[in-house]
Amino acid sequence: MTDAPRPILVFDSGIGGLTVLRELRVLMPERNFVYVADDAGFPYGNWPEDELRARVVALFGRLIDEFRPEISVIACNTAFTLVGSDLRATYPDHVFVGTVPAIKPAAERTRSGLISVLATPGTVKRAYTRDLIQSFASQCHVRLVGSEKLARMAESYIRGDAVADADVLAEIEQCFHHQDGRKTDIVVLACTHYPFMANVFRRLAPWPVDWIDPAEAIARQARRLVAPADHLQPEHHADRAILTSGKPDFSTRRLMQGFGLSVH
């Protein structure tokens, strides 16, 4: 037996979960990570709910068997808002940390009472998202903005491909609205891909707003669930990326390697 810690598994449909991995590493420096991108299923935004549920639940059976993670962080709103409870019911001995739209913190922080939630079409239509609004933001006006294109644009942008400002603006402008002399003051980034483009959003925004990125809060929750092990050292170069397509292109490999992940 070795006392090497089991890895933390971080899951997304694509590269968005890297925005969460970044924060996990800050708070859990002694741990190793396995990053899993279900790029064969990307993007998740328009999948029929039953099919996506079945896919992710089955995939996790294999991932838990193969990597024996200490916990799994579902760094994907589109997946977790649909499949979170199924994963916990199917794998009751495994701990899952989820990602859901940060509607509660937005409702606590807004001054104008006008909040927008920028997400994939899937997250926008989830019962889970509606429940969050009812439970935590019933006093606010919450506008749900489902973008068909932004997750792909974020993938292109982070790989260094040109993304036209006008195309980005077309996806985010619905987040900005006026009502009775008040304006939207908070936009929730409810897709883990979007923080990669936060600087572009800020530059193109018709007026300044707070953009809420939940990554740090997710990392804090993971840290609470995994005992700190100060005596342990992470194995250098042991963090891995697994892509379900099995054939990442050159720019994906380079990106993963840039995040210190060796690609399998």
Catalytic positions are 76, 191
Task: Give min distance, CB of 62 to ligand DGL, in A.
Answer: 19
Helix axes 215-225, 18-27, angle to 10 degrees: 50
Contacts for 85 with CB less than 8 Å, ≥ 6 apart: none
Check binding of 13 to ligand DGL (CB under 6 A).
yes
Task: Give min distance, CB of 13 to ligand DGL, in A.
Answer: 3
Check binding of 77 to ligand DGL (CB under 6 A).
yes
Stretch touching ligand DGL by CB under 6 A, among 23-31, 191-199, 228-236, 245-253: 191-199
Of 7 and 16, CB closest to ligand DGL? 16
Check binding of 123 to ligand DGL (CB under 6 A).
yes
CA atoms 46, 75, 81, 65: torsion sign: positive
DSSP category for residue 225: H
Check binding of 16 to ligand DGL (CB under 6 A).
yes
Of 5 and 45, CB closest to ligand DGL? 45
Per-residue binder mask for ligand DGL (CB under 6 A), 93-112, x = binder: --------------------
Check binding of 55 to ligand DGL (CB under 6 A).
no
Cβ-contact 116, 139 below 8 angstroms: no
Among 11, 33, 35, 44, binds ligand DGL (CB under 6 A): 44
Q: Is 149 left (phi over 0), alpha (psi -120 to 50) or beta?
A: alpha
Among 45, 146, 195, 248, binds ligand DGL (CB under 6 A): 45
Of 116 and 192, CB closest to ligand DGL? 192
Rounded to whole angstroms, the Cα distance separating 263 from 92 reads: 29
Among 151, 163, 172, 222, binds ligand DGL (CB under 6 A): 151
Long-range contacts of 171-178 (CB under 8 A, 24+ apart): 171/147, 172/118, 172/145, 172/147, 172/201, 172/204, 172/205, 173/206, 174/116, 174/143, 174/145, 175/116, 175/118, 175/143, 175/145, 175/209, 176/116, 176/205, 176/206, 176/207, 176/209, 177/114, 177/116, 177/143
Cβ-contact 37, 74 below 8 angstroms: no
Among 72, 120, 129, 184, binds ligand DGL (CB under 6 A): 120
Of 45 and 248, CB closest to ligand DGL? 45
Among 9, 34, 55, 78, binds ligand DGL (CB under 6 A): 78
Which residues here bind ligand DGL, judged by CB under 6 A?
12-14, 16, 42-45, 76-78, 120, 123, 151, 191-193
